[in-house]
Amino acid sequence: MRNAFADEMTRLCAGNQKPVLLSGDIGNRLFDKLKEAAPDQFLNCGVAEANMIGVAAGLAMSGYRPFAYTIVPFITTRVLEQIRVDLCYHNVPATVVGVGGGLSYAALGPTHHALEDLALLRVLPNMSVLCPGDALEVRACLKAAMRHDGPLYIRLGKKGEPVVHQSEPVISIGGSLTLRKGSDCTILAVGNLLPEAMKAADLLAERKIDAGVVSLVSVKPLDGEMLTRSFASSKLLISLEEHSVAGGAGSAILEWISDHDPSAMTKFMRIATPDAFYTQSGKQSYARQQLGLDAVSVARKIADRLG
Amino acid sequence: MDLTHIRQIARELRGTVIELTHEAKPAHLASALSCIDILAVLYWSVLRIDPAKPLAEDRDRFILSKGHAALALYSVLAKRGFCSDETLRTFNNNGGKLAEHPGPQCIPGVEAATGSLGHGLPIGNGLALAARLAGRDNRTFVLLSDGECNEGSVWEAAMFAGKQKLDNLCAIVDFNKWQATGRSQEILALDPLPEKWQAFGWETVRLDGHDLGVLHAALTELPRRSGKPLAIIADTVKGKGVSFMEDDNNWHYRVPTREETDAAKRELGLVH
């Protein structure tokens, strides 16, 4: 996703002076092409994220389209108040881009894990939250950001994730993408767990369970039409996210159920990380297995629930 | 430049701020009084602004980063024609637009929402950078308090402006030597304040923040020949203009009684 982000930003900047990429001193060489194509539209803001968000606000107030980019915890929890006041209160078209969503940087330890960002960002007024599920969704999200008139958070994974889509989809803020229809259940996959959801659906098919998969690209606002449709046609909806069970996309859907369709409560289950720091060393794939977020665990949990 | 005129405006602004504090009972009267002269010089002799076109692209920008002095800014904007006196008098009323800290574009002329300290200079960096990118020669002025310089984001912003050589940016520190609960030079290691800004890559001027002529001379000369952003460390007196409020930090929160309000206005020569 990271490489797609850099490449798409380069394309957006070529021939359009409005987008400006601000980096918190990461992405060594990642943005070389952008710097070459549009040298004025890249700024290394240093390891100074509070200032970077303020700079983004000032640029956006002046008609530019800033994208402020660094690792999730440093561009979200660390500068939450800057995002709240400078971007959301002013309601300016600035995009906060976090790399390393969920446990992408599992090996780096809890300082670099991103399991609370969706909870914190989605409660901010005026803020929209997008979680692309593969490299093609990343490109589409950036295009959506250029069309959007308010603050936006885009949560990336890292690099080298499987590409799920055949071609670049069109993403709207408040929309979702249906990748596979299923009559028994539908997995609402958030961001970088989309490939695991697809694998889980395959595993469920082996057990004669017909599982659909939706990429829940827009965590805020939610795609209410899709939820209404899915609850009407599925026996079970499952939110799947590499994020704490407290406050994430699953919680957002519970709020939606409470407000729109309380009877749907029995048809919904959440799969997320526990409300705890994950303190073991090791890779993302290992962490997912430990926390029950890998395709095998996901398929088993869903099959158990469906009986 | 007619200093006498600006001096009279500053006196009247002080009267307005004191009267409205008495009526609407916000905190931060003394913080508003310490920066009145700086605001008067900016709004009546420095800023290229037009109340009829408050969003003109090429306007100079001013951010009151010490948002707790909002009443001073509102009074200035009303007197300068950005809003009516009627609107000003709704300050702190139920259902009004003018809260104790300014919201975004709550009235024309308010460039940024402030009140949480340490936000104005980073936003000012963005505004100054945008002007440079667009090839416009408008300037950005940000007024900070000395207590605000406790915030780490101020120094992040100072390093950024220094590195980017934002010579269209001016930070003014209203150095009234007090913050909420004590002397600003004692609560954290604020000294040496001008040298700190200088070390962060800024051209730094220390001056008397109540000397209108000196303020005018320093503020009009932007950009500087050095090509650096300009930091003005303005020595001021908290509660300036009213003898029984000057340098008394109780007036950070106190609201004057009717008698105190009248006495203050008499001292300012506004009533006889």
Residue of A nearest to B57 (CA): A62
Per-residue pLDDT tens digits for A33-90: 999 999 999 999 999 999 999 999 999 999 999 999 999 999 999 999 999 999 999 9
Q: What are the chain B neighbours of A53 within 8 Å (beta carbons)? A: 122
How many angstroms separate the CA atoms of B140 and A161, rounded?
44
Among partner residues A50, A55, A91, which is closest to B126 by beta-carbon distance? A55
Cβ contact, residue pair B130, A57, below 8 Å: no
How many angstroms separate the CA atoms of B205 and B211, rounded?
14
Cβ contact, residue pair B153, A66, below 8 Å: no
Amino acid at A219: V
Amino acid at B9: I
% chain B with pLDDT above 90: 98
What is the band of A284 on the pLDDT scale with cuts at 50, 70, 90?
very high
Q: What average pLDDT score do residues B218-227 get?
A: 94
Return the pLDDT at B171.
98
Q: What average pLDDT score do residues A268-287 get?
A: 98
Return the pLDDT at B80.
98
What is the bridge-based pairing of β-strands B140-145 and B61-64? parallel
How many angstroms separate the CA atoms of A39 and A42, rounded?
6
Task: Say if residues A305 and A204 touch (Cβ distance below 8 Å).
Answer: no
Return the pLDDT at A27.
87
Residue of A nearest to B131 (CA): A62
Consecutive H or E run containing A297: helix A295-306
Per-residue pLDDT tens digits for B133-182: 999 999 999 999 999 999 999 999 999 999 999 999 999 999 999 999 99
Cβ contact, residue pair B130, A62, below 8 Å: yes
How many angstroms separate the CA atoms of A180 and A134, rounded?
15
Q: What average pLDDT score do residues A211-239 get?
A: 97
Cβ contact, residue pair B152, A59, below 8 Å: no
Q: What are the chain A neighbours of B126 within 8 Å (beta carbons)? A: 54-62, 66
Q: What average pLDDT score do residues A106-112 get?
A: 96
Cβ contact, residue pair A50, B104, below 8 Å: no
Task: Say if residues A244 and A278 touch (Cβ distance below 8 Å).
Answer: no
Per-residue pLDDT tens digits for B32-57: 999 999 999 999 999 999 999 999 99
A19 touches chain B (CB under 8 A): no
| Helical residues (DSSP H) of A215-283, grouped into ranges | 224-233, 249-260
Among partner residues B57, B125, B131, which is closest to A51 by beta-carbon distance? B125
Return the pLDDT at A50.
98
Cβ contact, residue pair A51, B156, below 8 Å: yes
pLDDT at B272 over 80: no
Among partner residues B113, B118, B125, which is closest to A58 by beta-carbon distance? B125
Which residues of B make CB contacts under 8 Å with A?
Answer: 57, 103-104, 111-113, 116, 118-119, 121-131, 133-134, 152-153, 156-157, 159-160, 163-164
Higher pLDDT, B74 or A307: B74
Cβ contact, residue pair B126, A59, below 8 Å: yes
How many angstroms separate the CA atoms of B234 and B209, rounded?
4
Return the pLDDT at A102.
98
Among partner residues A17, A48, A91, which is closest to B159 by beta-carbon distance? A48
Among partner residues B116, B118, B129, which is closest to A55 by beta-carbon distance? B129
Return the pLDDT at B271.
86
Q: What is the DSSP string of B139-200?
A: -EEEEEETGGGGSHHHHHHHHHHHHHT-TTEEEEEEE-SEETTEEHHHHS---SHHHHHHHT
- Strand, coil or helix: what is A267? helix
Residue of A nearest to B133 (CA): A40
* Residue A280 burial by Cβ neighbours in a 10 Å radius (0-12, 13-18, 19+): exposed
Q: What is the average pLDDT value for chain A, to the nearest integer?
A: 97
pLDDT at A240 over 80: yes
Q: What average pLDDT score do residues B78-95 get?
A: 97
Return the pLDDT at B2.
87
